[in-house]
Amino acid sequence: MVRAARGPGASVPIAARADGSSAGAKQVLEASPMSDPTPSVSGRPSWVGRPIWVELASSDAPAARAFYARVFGWDVQVNPDPQYGGYAIANVDGAPVAGIGPKMSPDMPTFWSLYLGTDDVDALAAAAQAAGATIVVPSMVVGDQGRFAAIQDPSGAVVSAWQPISMAGFVSGRPNAFAWAELNARGIDKAVAFYESVLGWTTDVFPMGEGRAPYMRFFLDGQPVAGGMEMNPAVPASVPSYWSVYFGVADAEATFRTAVEAGATEMMPPTPFPGGRFAILSDPEGAMFCIREEAGA
């Protein structure tokens, strides 16, 4: 989303690194449906309660734009309007897939943030607060683009809400676009109860084997929307709960090599899971991002 007086994402400080956190969980990753205005089973737009946008808050936005353009082939266009502070939209085949913009403060980490769609951001924020969340950034208007709020769920993970006006959100479910979101939580049970209460998500549990935390899959109207798991105890205590973002790719090995050659750091090399292959990297500024290749895609 484009920013006005610091808009969507508001560059709230969530952890960008998660060393050792997500291994094994990708065994059950599933594709996220593409956002579109088609009514869901509930009669509301299909993007309500689902991922609708992702954005990077960067200390060197021009370098970040160049890095991700090389890795994913994105066409990244900077909004010339000064009210948006150099915010850029990344496109694939002319369709928006992500945002890249400067951080609000130099003290904040570089990170990818997740937005969930809503048709009433004020009501969502109120419901979230009543369910135990902390409002990090109260609802605000972002130019003529939409309305935004940032929320810290009861497990400590920060997620943003987006109510579209003229900026409807991203396309997903195609190569080099958003493919999945995953919550790594300190207290996954608190997070599960929160998202079920506030967003109407349902949950199933996928056992990961003896001695390993189970994987949670979140559903809305019977469709998978995200995953989650208890954070690996090996992760340093200084790392709070966080949402990680996955981008779909046609060839995980090739994209991984390209990213490393462009300056990314390997966190987990391309690894098989029943649905394909995934990898975890951090970009040259340290922001974690994940890639996944679906079998037969």
For residue 131, the domain's CATH number is: 3.10.180.10
The reported pTM is: 0.86
Q: What is the mean pLDDT of residues 194-208?
A: 94
Mean pLDDT score, 71-98: 94
Is residue 20 in some structural domain?
Answer: no
**Would you state the pLDDT for residue 297?**
61
Banded model confidence at residue 211, pLDDT cuts 50, 70, 90: confident
Mean pLDDT of 37-54: 75
Q: What is the structure's pLDDT at 16?
A: 27
Total tally of structural domains belonging to the chain:
1
Query: Domain residues for 107?
Result: 25-294
Is residue 122 a part of any domain in this protein? yes
**Confidence band for 26, pLDDT divided at 50, 70 and 90:** very low
Residue 142 lies in a domain: yes
Query: Does a structural domain hold residue 16?
Result: no
pLDDT of 147 > 90? The answer is yes
Distance of CA 50 to the CA centre of its chain: 11
Residue 1 has a pLDDT of 54
| Residue 17 belongs to a domain | no
Rounded distance between C-alpha atoms, residue 67 and residue 131, angstroms: 39
Report the interhelical angle of 252-261 vs 61-72 (nearest 10°).
Answer: 150
- Does a structural domain hold residue 269? yes
**Looking at the domain assignment, is residue 194 inside a domain?**
yes
| Residue 200 pLDDT grade (very low, low, confident, very high; cuts 50, 70, 90) | very high
Which residue did the predictor score with more confidence, 42 or 210?
210
The count of C-alpha atoms lying within 13 angstroms of the C-alpha of 98, restricted to the half-sphere facing its C-beta, is 31
Cβ–Cβ under 8 Å, residues 162 and 132: no
Q: Is 10 inside a domain boundary?
A: no
Q: Pick the closest to residue 10 from 185, 112, 150 (CA basis).
A: 150
| CB 215 within 8 Å of CB 227 | yes
